[in-house]
Structure 1
Amino acid sequence: MGVSENPLISLFQAFQNISNCIQTQISSLTGIAINPSPPTSNDKQLSSLLSFSSSSSDLSTQQGKVSIPVTKEELGRATWTFLHTLAAQYPEHPTRQQKKDVKELMAILSRMYPCKECADHFKEVLRSNPVQAGSQSEFSQWLCHVHNVVNRSLGKPVFLCERVDARWGKLDCEQRLCDLHGSTDFGGGIL
């Protein structure tokens, strides 16, 4: 399968674009310059990580380069980025299904997270702190609190939850195309 045929490259590029957008927003809010990864080097990394010949006997090396597994810390940062971004996009008046989906997502993470130790710990955190997802602000605050519970257990500094909107505000998308409102009519088109 060629690089251009691998659907994971498009997915990873979309995540990189979202990450760059978030970094740009954080930079504009804080005044601290954050340099997003340049797309060209990222594309090369993705190509080397996601392309290999089907006849390759050693999948850990691709085109002479050794793939390095994601660390537990990298996975954690990426997961928290995803969850806080999801919470920022969560509707202020969610549907019953959206509330159910968020609770199920957290339950799934506690069962299937790639780090078993982390998953087990998250399961305990959820038992003590049931998901609160009645609104965007409630869900964002709950997630910040839960993230702080995890940070404390790891000996990391906690984040002031009053600043969660400044840190994890809505994505900057045209015509609010990033909002999680389900089907919304914009000028006659269903999104």
Structure 2
Amino acid sequence: MAENHPLQICFQNFQKVKNCVQTHLSNFIQRHSSPSLPSFTNQKEPFLSASPSLGKQNKDPTHQILLKGSSAAPVTKEELGRATWTFLHALAAQYPEEPTRQQKKDVKELMAILSRMYPCKECADHFKEVLRANPVQAGSHSEFSQWLCHVHNVVNRSLGKLVFPCERVDARWGKLDCEQRTCDVQGATKFW
């Protein structure tokens, strides 16, 4: 059986994580609706509350937030950074304690690709320097999570931000709560 290309595996895993995050975001918003949150049914922006394809109200808060975000300005460097760190920490949380050789290779390649193709050139160049000084450590879930936390703190220090106590990384970025282990990193679970 032919092996998947590392980018294909990455995109498949990203899709799984995206679906889990989307579900949890929707559940979180429904549970924590607050009057302090902005109204997404603004009369000046009727497209925020209407489904473009159905022409009727779409009450899905995730849909409304996504539409709200897409009607505003382009993504900022800070928003992109936060989203990237969220993705990477979610990936690390799902990373297996005993990864396969391919999983170790893929995660190292993912970091290298980010350092080359990240949409912010200044950020990508800085990440290359950080990777040179701190090569990826991905021998286990614990090792990868701690390495990523350390690297995130290196970046935070360079930006004058507070650092996160890495001994609390699993409490902050624990495994996603997905039914039937659908959020596991591909290859982490043997089904046969």
State whether TM-score is above 0.5.
Answer: yes
1:40 matched to 2:46: no
1:179 matched to 2:184: yes
Choose which of 92, 113, 120 in structure 2 pairs with 1:115. 120
**Match of residue 58 from structure 1:** none
Gaps of 5+ in 1: 1-10, 28-32, 51-65
Q: 1:135 to 1:101 in 2, by over 3 A?
A: same
Q: How far did 1:175 drift?
A: 2.4
Q: 1:133 to 1:112 in 2, by over 3 A?
A: same
Q: How many residues align?
A: 154
Q: How does 1:127-138 map to 2 (within 5 A)?
A: 127-138=132-143
Please give the alpha-carbon distance, in whole angstroms, between the structure 1 residues aligned to 2:77 and 2:156.
Answer: 14
**Match of residue 60 from structure 1:** none
Q: How does 1:125-164 map to 2 (within 5 A)?
A: 125-164=130-169
Please give the alpha-carbon distance, in whole angstroms, between the structure 2 residues aligned to 1:49 and 1:87.
Answer: 27
Q: How far did 1:165 drift?
A: 0.2
Q: Is the 8 A contact 1:94 1:135 kept in 2?
A: yes
Q: Secondary structure of 2:137's match?
A: coil
Q: How far did 1:17 drift?
A: 1.4
1:169 matched to 2:174: yes
Q: How does 1:92-111 map to 2 (within 5 A)?
A: 92-111=97-116
Q: Secondary structure of 1:108's match?
A: helix
TM (normalized to structure 2)? 0.69
Please give the alpha-carbon distance, in whole angstroms, between the structure 2 residues aligned to 1:174 and 1:47.
Answer: 27
Q: 1:49 to 1:22 in 2, by over 3 A?
A: closer
Please give the alpha-carbon distance, in whole angstroms, between the structure 1 residues aligned to 2:135 and 2:95.
Answer: 17
Gaps of 5+ in 2: 1-14, 41-58
Please give the alpha-carbon distance, in whole angstroms, between the structure 1 residues aligned to 2:112 and 2:27.
Answer: 26
Q: Is the 8 A contact 1:113 1:119 kept in 2?
A: yes
Q: Secondary structure of 2:175's match?
A: coil
Please give the alpha-carbon distance, in whole angstroms, between the structure 2 residues aligned to 1:93 and 1:151.
Answer: 29
Q: Is the 8 A contact 1:92 1:135 kept in 2?
A: yes
RMSD of the TM alignment (CA)?
Answer: 3.3
Q: Is the 8 A contact 1:91 1:181 kept in 2?
A: no
Q: Secondary structure of 1:145's match?
A: helix
Q: How far did 1:116 drift?
A: 0.2
1:95 corresponds to which letter in structure 2?
T
Q: Secondary structure of 1:152's match?
A: helix
Report sequence identity in percent: 69
Q: Is the 8 A contact 1:22 1:171 kept in 2?
A: no
Q: How far did 1:44 drift?
A: 3.6
Stretches (4+) displaced over 2 A = 13-16, 21-24, 33-42, 44-50
Q: Is the 8 A contact 1:109 1:119 kept in 2?
A: yes
